[in-house]
Each structure stands twice: as C-alpha cells, then as structure tokens.
Amino acid sequence: MAVSFSSAAKAEVCRLIPSRYCCALAECFGILLYCNSFHIGGIKIITESRDFACILPKLFKKAFNLSFDSYPSMEAPGKLVFQIWDEEKIEMIMDSFGFDMQDTLALHVNLPIVEEECCRAAFLRGAFLAGGSVTDPGKGYHMELTTTHQSVARETDALIREVMAFPPKMAKRGGGQVLYIKQSEQISDFLTYLNAPVAAMGIMEARLEKELNNKVNRRCNCDDANTSKVM
C-alpha cells in the first residue's frame, strides 16, 4: 500500500529522538495535549503511523520512566492504540507538567516546559505526530494540528507566531480546535522546523512544478491566440 505524504512526513519527524530529558518531556507534552484523550480518567493515544508507534514508548520511558498499561499489536492492521489508566502513573505525568489532579483541570501549554528553543521544536513535533496532518502537495496545500482543548490551541497559535514569525489560522471542527496553514512556503518552513526537510522540499518541488505548468499553459494559450489572429 502506498504511503501517504502525511505518513512520510511523520516518519521523517520520528527519525529525531530527543537526547535531552527536557526535550523528551516537551515532545511528550505536545503528544498528550494533541492526542485523543488526556485527563485524570486516563490517557489514550491513537495513531496510524507505525514510526510514531515505535518511538512513543521510548519517549515516555525517557520523560517519565514508565510504560503504557496497554500496547497495540504492531502486526495488526489499521489504527494503533496506547493507553494508561493507572492512577499513580497519570498523577506522575500530570505533576511533571505542573497540573494538580485534585483541581478541575483546564489543560494549557505550561510555558516553562517550552522555555528553551529546542523544547519548543520538540513540543511542536509531538503535536504534529499526535494531532497533525499535511495534504499531498500535488492535491493542495494544507497542514493542520487538532486538539480538543481551546486554551491549548490559542497558546500553540502564539507559540507558532513566535518561532515561525507567521500566524496560523484557527477554526472549530466538531468538538475540536484546528490550527491550519495553507501557504506552501509556510508549510515548507514549518516542516523544516520539525526536522522533516525532505517533506519540506516535496512541498516546494510541487509548487515549482505547478508554477512551471501554469507558465507553459499560458504560453501555449497565448501562441494559440496569436495563431488564430494570423489565420
């Protein structure tokens, strides 16, 4: 089965595994804030990316020194599901990010976790791996990050504006908050920032090819018009 452009981009991002504890923590933070479920009742991360599934246990081991309570079979087709329901593990993870399980949780991006530049990049890599997608540039230009937490979307928006110097757009979809980018140059720059330069180059190559085809078509149309006038 052919690999989608989005899957290939995620596979490229997965090649960079954080060597520093702070970056592993930040990447897990991005994963948890953009995954399917992260609250005091349990954690559920669902992915179709085998590459992401391979590095996920390593990231959690490095960041929290713990394992998942439920692992998927890597041989099984379709989506892969990782879960944690042990209360002590969830409390340890919440505490790592400055959240108190005794309070009513309104999840947000805890700024000290993403204070360093390397940690900001790691956080956005995690967000993309858990809740992101990018369209095949041959079909169009669209990249998005989806979370169920409104405050997380707003704070990620501010973070992207700071590190990338351009603003993503924001929209609601069902019960989720979507940050999206539709400019080819911005998508390419963002993928480069996430350490996916091959995918970024694919965006720019597709754009150049479209521009060349449009130029050729305009030239042909112009030649046809001139020939008609002569006739």
Write the DSSP symbol of residue 137: T
Tell me the pLDDT tens digit for each residue of 96-150: 998 887 665 678 999 999 999 999 999 999 999 999 999 999 899 999 999 999 9
- Report d(CA 51, CA 71) in Å as an integer: 15
For position 196, what pLDDT does the model report?
95
Question: Is residue 216 scored above 60 in pLDDT?
Answer: no
pLDDT of 230 reads 56
Instruction: Tell which residue, 136, 114, 130, 126, has the closest CA to residue 187.
Output: 136
**What pLDDT shows up at residue 222?**
59
Give the strand order in the sheet containing 80-84: 37-39, 42-47, 80-84
Rounded CA-CA distance 153/207 in Å is 28
Is 83 a residue whose pLDDT tops 90? yes
Q: Tell me whether residue 108 is exposed, middle or buried, using C-beta atoms within 10 angstroms of its C-beta: 0 to 12, 13 to 18, 19 or more.
A: middle
pLDDT-derived band at 217 (thresholds 50, 70, 90) equals low
**What are the φ/ψ torsions at residue 70 (nearest 5 degrees)?**
-140, 125
The type of residue at 127 is A
How far apart, in whole angstroms, are the C-alpha atoms of residue 217 and residue 195? 35
8 Å CB contact between 69 and 83: yes
Compute CA distances 111 → 57, 130, 225, whole Å.
24, 20, 60
- HSE of 150 in the Cβ direction (CA atoms, 13 Å)? 5
Distance, CA of 92 to CA of 88 (rounded, Å): 6
Question: Comparing 84 with 208, which gets the higher pLDDT?
Answer: 84
Q: Tokens at residue 206, please?
A: 């597709």
> Is this model's pTM higher than 0.85 or not?
yes
Residue 105 pLDDT = 63
Q: What is the predicted pLDDT for the residue at 106?
A: 75
Confidence of residue 224 (pLDDT cuts 50, 70, 90): low
Looking at the chain, the number of H-run helices and the number of E-run strands are 8, 7
